[in-house]
């Protein structure tokens, strides 16, 4: 199997964690991991360390993110990208056909830093992706508002928003304000 990123480099078995191996690239440090093995590992991991899973600190400069579409090293189909979180631009690549995922250099550490080390398949769910999209669009909405109205205004607006959320007459107040 060749690295989907470096193309000509062979993948070699590599240890990600105690009891979890993937096929790694010595050149770009990415790793291809079978979700079948992963789920088995995560189940055992959760059984023994559920309470003690600690978020790891990571150095974001050491995390890479491939923007190009990549082909699955096994079956050559184009893998699908799944964004990890709204705060990080990183995307995991999944081949649904082989049930294997490609993680760029540092993305495994990134998952662990987000407490997703034992819950990676969550990222591949429609629910997770929807939540990430909502957070991203909320964040860009806020940014647009800040660009237009400034930081003080958003602080005030957030207070009003919070107050409105709990206000039973919300609908009437909004209607009244809209005609002001």
Q: How far is the CB of 97 from Zn ion (least distance, A)?
A: 4
Closer residue to Zn ion, CB minimum distance, 98 or 157: 98
Q: How far is the CB of 6 from Zn ion (least distance, A)?
A: 3
List residues near Zn ion by CB under 5 A. 3, 5-6, 9, 25, 27-28, 72, 74-75, 95, 97-98
Q: How far is the CB of 51 from Zn ion (least distance, A)?
A: 35
Closer residue to Zn ion, CB minimum distance, 36 or 75: 75
Q: How far is the CB of 65 from Zn ion (least distance, A)?
A: 14
Single out the residue of 92, 93, 89 nearest to residue 139, CA to CA. Answer: 89
Tokens of 54: 């600690």
Closer residue to Zn ion, CB minimum distance, 106 or 114: 106
Interatomic CA distance for residues 131 and 104, integer angstroms: 23
Q: How far is the CB of 26 from Zn ion (least distance, A)?
A: 8
At 35, give phi and psi (nearest 5°): -70, -25
Closer residue to Zn ion, CB minimum distance, 6 or 16: 6
Closer residue to Zn ion, CB minimum distance, 55 or 78: 78
């Amino acid at each position: 199997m060749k690295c989907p990123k470096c193309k000509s480099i062979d993948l070699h078995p590599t240890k990600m964690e105690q009891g979890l191996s993937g096929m790694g690239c010595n050149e770009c440090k990415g790793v291809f991991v079978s979700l079948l093995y992963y789920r088995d590992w995560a189940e055992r991991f959760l059984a023994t360390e559920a309470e003690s899973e600690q978020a790891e600190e990571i150095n974001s400069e050491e995390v890479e993110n491939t923007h190009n579409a990549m082909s699955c090293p096994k079956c050559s189909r184009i893998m699908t990208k799944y964004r990890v979180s709204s705060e990080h631009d990183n995307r995991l690549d999944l081949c649904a056909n082989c049930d294997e995922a490609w993680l760029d250099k540092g993305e495994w550490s990134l998952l662990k830093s987000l407490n997703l080390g034992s819950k990676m398949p969550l990222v591949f769910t429609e629910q997770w992706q929807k939540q990430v999209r909502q957070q991203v669009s909320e964040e860009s909405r806020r940014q647009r508002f800040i660009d237009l109205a400034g930081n003080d205004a958003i602080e005030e607006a957030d207070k009003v928003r919070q107050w409105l959320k709990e206000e039973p007459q919300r609908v009437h107040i909004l209607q009244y304000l809209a005609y002001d």
